[in-house]
Amino acid sequence: MACAYNSCHTQDSRVKLPYVLIDYSKCDGDGGCVTSCPGSIFEVSQNWCKPVDGFVKNTVALQVFQERIAKQKGRVAAAIRYHVPECFLCWQCIGACPRHAIDVEYDDLDIREYVLPARLDKAV
């Protein structure tokens, strides 16, 4: 599988940076992302999957995880957009997550909100 890194360059040679979006209304801590990631950027922390703290550049996302997600026992109506430059953009984690809780995007570094609302659907 080819890495998408080379397709992340824009016309003015800026590199678009990878973001990992985890929807905690779907995540069940299965850990499929951990075993599938060639960059080893994921871990299971307190029954939730998340990027390893040392790889996350937006510390606000880590703080929100600790405050709103980490200690919860059930699904949480929130998704966190982690800025993870070490991501290879191979999308292996997306296919490995049985709950479809992960998305990987790339974008220019920006100041968009890192915590996004998520819906708690009955059927997931």
Q: Which amino acid is at 77?
A: A
Q: Which amino acid is at 90?
A: C
Structural domain boundaries of the chain?
17-117
90 φ, ψ (degrees, to nearest 5) = -90, -15
Quick one: fold of 17-117? Answer: Alpha-Beta Plaits (3.30.70)
- Report pLDDT digits (tens) over 51-98: 999 999 999 999 999 999 999 988 899 999 999 999 999 999 999 999
43-76: buried (b, 16+ CB within 10 Å) or exposed (e) per residue? Answer: bebeebbbbbeebbbbeebbebbeeebbeeeebb
pLDDT for position 67: 94
Beta-bridge partner residues of 83: 19
